[in-house]
């Protein structure tokens, strides 16, 4: 009974937090695109997330593996609430919106980085080991639910509320998530250690320890390599799709919201299937390669509507289907990979490994955002999508041929030695 209560509290806290974050991202992105009409301005706000991750990775990993993770989660959410209240209070008093948005997004990203690392590192302490795979499926599913609800709710609220009120509403979602998290027992599973024994030393020393741990794990190195490449090239989608749908094909706010929701519907459908069958990948690296190539194909397909002269209505339906498939494909790897990492990484290293792994995966994103922000402002979006998608397919195929995938037995041996 207590285990089920822990489980429900965890996914409910995440749901409220995810909806709030999604609504804020939707509203801020839409406001900037409407106000500036520039992909480059939009890209500037996207650079913040990876840059913050790179700069704060050593400190975040050090603190998460050394200090109480529940306390870190709580203070991270309190910081987010304070930042949002200040954002709302100053919104109408700053002439250039970017001068306000950028420092606020930096503050929110720092808080979110601490929250995400602490929460992910604490998952094994919140639920029993046999519940981890199910929890990862539910987390992915609830992320999808939030992704579905957020654009619809964001579009509706954006149409009827002034931005300061819109922002305060987001703060209320964060407050609800905070109150639920405070009631969760982060040391529920006795198998999880609450105090790290391998994070002695200063920030830089513990960072080096975490990096050294990853270097001993060929499975993690291969995952990071593919993730870096996929994130670099798929940034073209994050930068280009809003620009194409809003400024080129002139989709309405409702149509744009539905298209952006489609990927979450695909993820939700796949997550429900995973939750029912409790799937565990037999060859996780091979699965990663195959999914990455499928993502490249779907990225290339986004360039066809402009070349074939689709109407606005046709573009809406086409992008909805392609984004839906993108969500399904992404779930084919995200859920089993996260379950694998939760079970294969030592508890004492999880804070550092998760932050390092995320940073390695997104380390090239600032360059990618700047690059594609400029490219989409000056060149054809159609050929950019096609060329980037085919490049992803070719590069992943080359890595697949040159880097033999480790079988599951090898991964288990590595994990057992940890």
- pLDDT tens digits, one per residue of 200-236: 556 667 777 777 787 777 777 777 788 888 888 888 8
pLDDT for the residue numbered 325: 92
pLDDT for the residue numbered 416: 42
Ranges of H-type helices in 2-38:
2-36
Please state the rounded mean pLDDT for residues 121-128.
78
Would 165 be classed as within a structural domain? yes
Please state the rounded mean pLDDT for residues 15-34.
83
Q: Which residue has the higher pLDDT, 206 or 244?
A: 244
Residues spanned by the domain of 317: 2-189+201-417
CATH of the domain at 106: 1.20.1250.20
Would 150 be classed as within a structural domain? yes
pLDDT for the residue numbered 279: 61
pLDDT for the residue numbered 199: 52
Q: Which residue has the higher pLDDT, 69 or 129?
A: 69
Would 194 be classed as within a structural domain? no
pLDDT for the residue numbered 74: 93
Number of domains observed in the structure of the chain = 1
Would 196 be classed as within a structural domain? no
The encoded tokens of residue 326 equal: 């993108």
With the C-alpha atoms ordered 259, 261, 267, 273, is the resulting torsion angle positive or negative? negative
Would 195 be classed as within a structural domain? no
Cα 304 from Cα 201, distance rounded (Å): 54
Would 404 be classed as within a structural domain? yes
Cα 98 from Cα 44, distance rounded (Å): 9
Would 69 be classed as within a structural domain? yes
pLDDT for the residue numbered 123: 80
Cα 297 from Cα 279, distance rounded (Å): 25
Which has the closest alpha carbon to 345: 330, 332, 331, 356?
356
Task: Write out pLDDT tens, residues 28-82.
Answer: 877 877 776 666 666 667 677 777 777 887 788 878 878 888 899 999 999 999 9
Which has the closest alpha carbon to 126: 199, 73, 190, 67?
190
pLDDT for the residue numbered 202: 64
- Model confidence at 83, pLDDT cuts 50, 70, 90, reads very high
Task: Write out pLDDT tens, residues 247-294.
Answer: 778 888 778 878 887 887 888 887 777 766 666 666 777 778 888 899
Please state the rounded mean pLDDT for residues 113-121.
86
**Mean pLDDT over all residues of the chain?**
80
Would 285 be classed as within a structural domain? yes
């Amino acid at each position: 009974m207590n285990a089920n209560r822990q489980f429900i509290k965890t996914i409910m806290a995440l749901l409220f937090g995810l909806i709030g974050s999604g609504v804020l991202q939707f509203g801020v992105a839409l406001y900037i695109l409407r106000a500036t009409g520039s992909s480059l301005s939009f890209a500037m706000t996207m650079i913040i997330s990876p840059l913050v991750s790179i700069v704060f990775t050593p400190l975040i990993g050090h603190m998460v593996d050394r200090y109480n993770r529940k306390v870190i989660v709580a203070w991270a959410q309190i910081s987010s609430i304070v930042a949002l209240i200040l954002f709302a209070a100053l919104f109408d008093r700053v002439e250039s919106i970017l001068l306000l948005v950028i420092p606020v997004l930096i503050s929110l990203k720092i808080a979110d980085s601490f929250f995400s690392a602490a929460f992910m590192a604490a998952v094994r302490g919140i639920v029993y080991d046999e519940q981890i795979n199910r929890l990862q499926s539910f987390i992915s599913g609830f992320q999808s639910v939030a992704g579905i609800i957020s654009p619809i709710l964001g579009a509706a609220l954006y149409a009827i509320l002034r931005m300061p009120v819109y922002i305060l509403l987001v703060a209320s979602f964060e407050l609800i998530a905070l109150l639920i998290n405070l009631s969760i027992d982060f040391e529920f599973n006795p198998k999880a250690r609450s105090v790290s024994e391998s994070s002695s030393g200063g920030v830089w020393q513990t960072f080096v320890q975490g990096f050294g741990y990853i270097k001993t794990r060929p499975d993690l190195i291969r995952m990071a390599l593919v993730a870096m490449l996929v994130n670099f090239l798929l940034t073209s989608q994050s930068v280009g799709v809003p620009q194409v749908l809003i400024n080129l094909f002139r989709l309405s706010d409702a149509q744009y919201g539905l298209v952006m929701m489609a990927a979450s519907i695909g993820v939700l459908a796949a997550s429900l299937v995973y939750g029912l069958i409790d799937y565990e990948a037999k060859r996780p690296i091979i699965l990663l390669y195959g999914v990455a190539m499928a993502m490249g194909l779907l990225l290339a397909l986004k360039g066809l509507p402009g070349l074939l002269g689709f109407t606005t209505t046709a573009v809406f339906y086409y992008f909805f289907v392609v984004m839906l498939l993108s969500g399904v494909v992404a779930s084919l790897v995200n859920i089993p990979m996260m379950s694998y990492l939760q079970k294969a990484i030592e508890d004492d290293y999880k804070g550092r490994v998760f932050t390092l792994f995320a940073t390695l995966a997104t380390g090239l994103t600032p360059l990618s955002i700047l690059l594609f922000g400029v490219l989409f402002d000056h060149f054809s979006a159609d050929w950019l999508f096609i060329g980037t998608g085919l490049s992803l397919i070719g590069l992943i195929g080359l890595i697949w041929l040159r880097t033999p995938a480790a079988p599951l037995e090898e991964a288990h041996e590595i994990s057992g030695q940890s």
